[in-house]
Amino acid sequence: MRELSALPAGEPVPSPCNAVCRVSEATGLCEGCLRTLDEIAAWGGLDDTGKRTVWQRLAVRAGEEPL
């Protein structure tokens, strides 16, 4: 997830999807990208600021420092 911090300003924020689409019943998170179903559903309508916010949440969920 660190590569997002190196993304040049103005570049579109990439989706965190990595094609491992399986939601854990225990956590409610996608096992591939760690997003909630609400975050997955909202992704296409988010602006870059919203997408970066989701990426920050994912970093926290993965145990990394937020970007």
Whether residue 33 is contained in a domain is answered as yes
pLDDT digits (tens, 9 = 90+) for 27-44: 999 999 999 999 999 999
Whether residue 15 is contained in a domain is answered as no
Any residues with CB less than 8 A from the CB of 56 and at least 6 apart, and which? 66, 67
**Per-residue pLDDT at 12 exceeds 60:** yes
Structural domain that includes position 56: 22-67
What's the predicted TM-score (pTM) here? 0.84
**What size, in residues, is the chain?**
67
Whether residue 9 is contained in a domain is answered as no
Whether residue 5 is contained in a domain is answered as no
Total domain count, the chain? 1
**Per-residue pLDDT at 1 exceeds 70:** no
Whether residue 48 is contained in a domain is answered as yes
Whether residue 42 is contained in a domain is answered as yes
Whether residue 3 is contained in a domain is answered as no
Say how far apart CA 65 and CA 44 lie, in whole Å.
Answer: 25
Residues forming beta bridges with residue 29, ordered by sequence position: 36
